[in-house]
């Protein structure tokens, strides 16, 4: 996500210290800024104090459990769960497709319910349990839905697949996989541009009919 | 996304104090607000998280059913009381968004969601709703999704909710709270027409928090139907949608409710068409007459001319389903 451009800051913005000092000092005009800034501030900036002060203002503590592992993080409130997972926890299985809640590639489970992680702010999942595609398999043993997607060729490029599988598992758990029609309706939040839909439906139907716990 | 401050005031009273300040916005599910913030359509200085407030309840009250503002769309749509007593609301909710979004979106947020007009979302285009005085890109532009009722020369955007179409048909009441106390607003009076101020979507005053909605008891449960027509079978906003609810006595329509979505700046109640149904027999002819009355006064803008045919056809079809004719 793009930071705001410091050149657009109003001169007397009360939030200046809180919101943009770090961006300001990092900006390409750094030398000019230091030349015009009083000596104590320059010294503080060189020692990185401003970074620490900015962190105090800008970051919020968040504790959450991801795939059974507890994490204590400090994040900017604008960080989405998707970016938190991918950039901070390096769980890149969850994909960023549209980043606007339209494609479902970012689907994860929060406290057992499927959500779009791209529209979920990280601060809103504090204290909750998140499951991503990395959390489905038990060691080397794939989840039945993962096995079924391989068996039925439920993908071509594979980019939407983690989201499809997380959604498919939820679809069965919710009790919305009782017919092809119902599966298609309740999987409509996951777009596959390769058009693997018939195979995805077959995979879900097989897992549902197999009766294995998902 | 522009940086903002995040706070989670401990009590309802503290939330009301916090939202009364300029630049502050409430966040609940965030499905609409986070999207708008990513696109730079809105840039609040402060987000007030209200997810911990005790506003998730769905419970009978005297003469009706209360649904809390923080009840999730998915939870409401599957709630036993809602399905049994107000199936129209359940059907409308299930027609909206995707399962993932319904697991995040709240009742209050659904009511307050902004239009999905592409010109509102595109910050390089004129839009009087986003930037008053900048003009309307949709008038004379791409307006397939746009209003046929109640628009103005400032704005032809539509309200995108399905849930609200059912709520207006069911004569719901909105309950809001501010420092001055609680206020009850009839649902039909809550959303605004664009007029000279399309930037204002509704009549929620500054510093007011939605607590929930109340739906009065009715006899429509057996004969309700929500029909949504869109560019794909699922997970798309309505071109036209119809909420139809009938109370039948034998083959005669004793009471009727009709509302449309995708046609106006607010969920559009069709009172005159309802009058044309009451006392009449259940028949395709009755429904066609009501449908023709419903679209009187419609005005189209080129790209949405097809709605003049689609809207009455959808009304007739919805009434056939509601009455059991099909």
Q: Are A107 and A85 in contact (CB under 8 A)?
A: no
- pLDDT, tens digit, 9 for 90 and up, residues B298-323: 999 999 999 999 999 999 999 999 99
- pLDDT, tens digit, 9 for 90 and up, residues B125-183: 999 999 999 999 999 999 999 999 999 999 999 999 999 999 999 999 999 999 999 99
- pLDDT, tens digit, 9 for 90 and up, residues A66-87: 999 999 999 999 999 999 999 9
Q: Do A113 and B103 touch (CB under 8 A)?
A: yes
| Class of CATH domain A144-210 | mainly alpha
CATH superfamily of A79-135: Beta-grasp domain (3.10.20.30)
Q: Do A116 and B37 touch (CB under 8 A)?
A: no
| Class of CATH domain B5-51 | alpha beta
CA dihedral (A137, A127, A74, B25) positive or negative: positive
Q: Say whether residue B142 is in contact with chain A using an 8 A CB cutoff.
A: no
Which of helix, strand or coil describes residue A71?
Answer: strand
Contacting residues for A38 by C-beta, under 8 A, at least 6 apart: none
Q: Are A33 and A20 in contact (CB under 8 A)?
A: no
**Do β-strands A129-131 and A60-66 pair in parallel, antiparallel, or remain unpaired?**
parallel
Domain boundaries, chain A: 6-58, 79-135, 144-210
Domain boundaries, chain B: 5-51, 221-323
A75 beta partners: A60
Half-sphere exposure of B54 (CA within 13 A, CB side): 2
Distance of CA B237 to CAs A34, A202, B141, B152, B310, Å? 52, 28, 19, 22, 15
Predicted local confidence at residue A50, as pLDDT: 62
Q: Do A101 and B38 touch (CB under 8 A)?
A: no
**3-state percent breakdown (helix, strand, coil) of chain A, nearest 5:** 45, 15, 40
Predicted local confidence at residue A58, as pLDDT: 84
Predicted local confidence at residue B197, as pLDDT: 98
Q: Which residue of A lies nearest to B31 if distances are taken between CA atoms?
A: A119
Q: Do A123 and B99 touch (CB under 8 A)?
A: no
> Under an 8 Å CB criterion, which residues of A touch B?
1-4, 15, 18-20, 58, 60, 76-78, 80, 99-101, 104, 107, 113-116, 119-121, 123-124, 167, 170-171, 174, 176, 184-186, 188-190
What CA dihedral angle connects A76, A77, A82 and A83, to 10 degrees? -20
Using a CB-CB distance cutoff of 8 angstroms, which residues of chain B are in contact with residue A107? Answer: 100
How many Å apart are CA B240 and CA B228, to the nearest integer?
6
Predicted local confidence at residue B12, as pLDDT: 96
Mean pLDDT, chain A cut into blocks of 10 residues (214 residues total): 41 44 49 59 66 71 97 97 98 98 98 98 98 97 98 98 98 98 98 98 98 92
The predicted complex's ipTM stands at: 0.97
Nearest CA-CA distance, residue B236 and chain A, Å: 9
Using a CB-CB distance cutoff of 8 angstroms, which residues of chain A are in contact with residue B47? Answer: 77, 121
Per this entry, what is the length of chain B? 326
| Class of CATH domain B221-323 | alpha beta
Q: Say whether residue B121 is in contact with chain A using an 8 A CB cutoff.
A: no
Q: Say whether residue B37 is in contact with chain A using an 8 A CB cutoff.
A: yes
pTM of the model: 0.91
Predicted local confidence at residue A17, as pLDDT: 43
């Amino acid at each position: 996500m793009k930071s705001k451009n410091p050149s657009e800051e109003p001169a007397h913005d009360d939030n200046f210290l809180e919101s943009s000092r770090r961006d300001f000092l990092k900006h390409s005009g750094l030398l000019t800024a230091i030349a015009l800034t009083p000596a104590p501030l320059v010294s503080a900036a060189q020692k990185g104090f401003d970074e620490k002060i900015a962190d105090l203002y800008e970051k919020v503590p968040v504790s959450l459990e991801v795939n059974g592992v507890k994490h204590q993080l400090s994040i900017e409130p604008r960080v989405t769960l998707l970016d938190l997972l991918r950039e901070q926890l390096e769980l890149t299985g969850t994909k960023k497709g549209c980043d606007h809640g339209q494609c479902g590639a970012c689907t994860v489970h929060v406290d057992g319910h499927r959500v779009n992680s791209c529209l979920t702010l990280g601060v809103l999942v504090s204290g909750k349990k998140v499951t991503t595609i990395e959390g489905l398999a038990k060691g080397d043993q794939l989840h039945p839905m993962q096995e079924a997607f391989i068996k039925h060729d439920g993908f071509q490029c594979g980019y939407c697949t983690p989201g499809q599988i997380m959604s498919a598992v939820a679809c069965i758990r919710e009790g919305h996989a009782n017919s092809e029609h119902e599966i298609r309706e309740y999987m409509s939040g996951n777009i596959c541009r390769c058009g693997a839909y018939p195979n995805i439906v077959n995979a879900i139907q097989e897992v549902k009919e197999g009766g294995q716990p998902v | 996304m522009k940086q903002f401050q995040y706070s989670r005031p401990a009590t309802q009273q503290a939330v009301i104090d916090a939202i009364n300040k300029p630049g502050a916005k409430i966040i609940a599910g965030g499905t609409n607000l986070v999207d708008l913030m990513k696109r730079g359509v809105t840039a609040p200085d402060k987000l007030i998280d209200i997810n911990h407030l005790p506003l998730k309840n769905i419970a009978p009250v005297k003469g009706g059913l209360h649904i809390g503002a923080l009840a999730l769309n998915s939870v409401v749509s599957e709630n036993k009381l809602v399905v049994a007593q107000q199936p129209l609301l359940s059907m409308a909710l299930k027609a909206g968004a995707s399962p993932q979004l319904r697991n995040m979106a709240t009742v209050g947020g659904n009511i307050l969601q902004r239009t999905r007009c592409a010109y509102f979302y595109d910050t390089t285009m004129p839009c009087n709703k986003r930037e008053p005085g900048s003009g309307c890109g949709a008038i004379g532009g791409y307006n397939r999704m746009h209003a046929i009722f109640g628009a103005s020369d400032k704005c032809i955007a539509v309200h995108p909710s399905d849930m609200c179409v059912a709520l207006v048909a069911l004569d719901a009441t909105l309950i809001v709270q501010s420092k001055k106390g609680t206020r009850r607003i009839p649902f039909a009076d809550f959303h605004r027409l664009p007029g000279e101020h399309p930037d204002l979507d509704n009549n929620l005053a500054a510093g007011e928090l939605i607590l929930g909605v109340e739906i009065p008891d009715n006899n429509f449960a057996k004969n309700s139907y929500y029909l949504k027509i869109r560019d794909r079978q699922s997970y798309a906003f309505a071109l036209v949608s119809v909420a139809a609810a009938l109370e039948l006595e034998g083959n005669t329509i004793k009471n009727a409710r009709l509302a449309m979505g995708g046609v106006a700046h607010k969920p559009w109640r069709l009172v005159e068409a309802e009058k044309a149904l009451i006392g009449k027999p259940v028949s395709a002819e009755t429904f066609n007459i009501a449908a023709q009355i419903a679209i009187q006064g419609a005005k189209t803008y080129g790209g949405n001319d097809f709605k003049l045919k689609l809207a009455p056809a959808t009304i007739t079809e919805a009434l056939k389903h509601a009455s059991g004719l099909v």
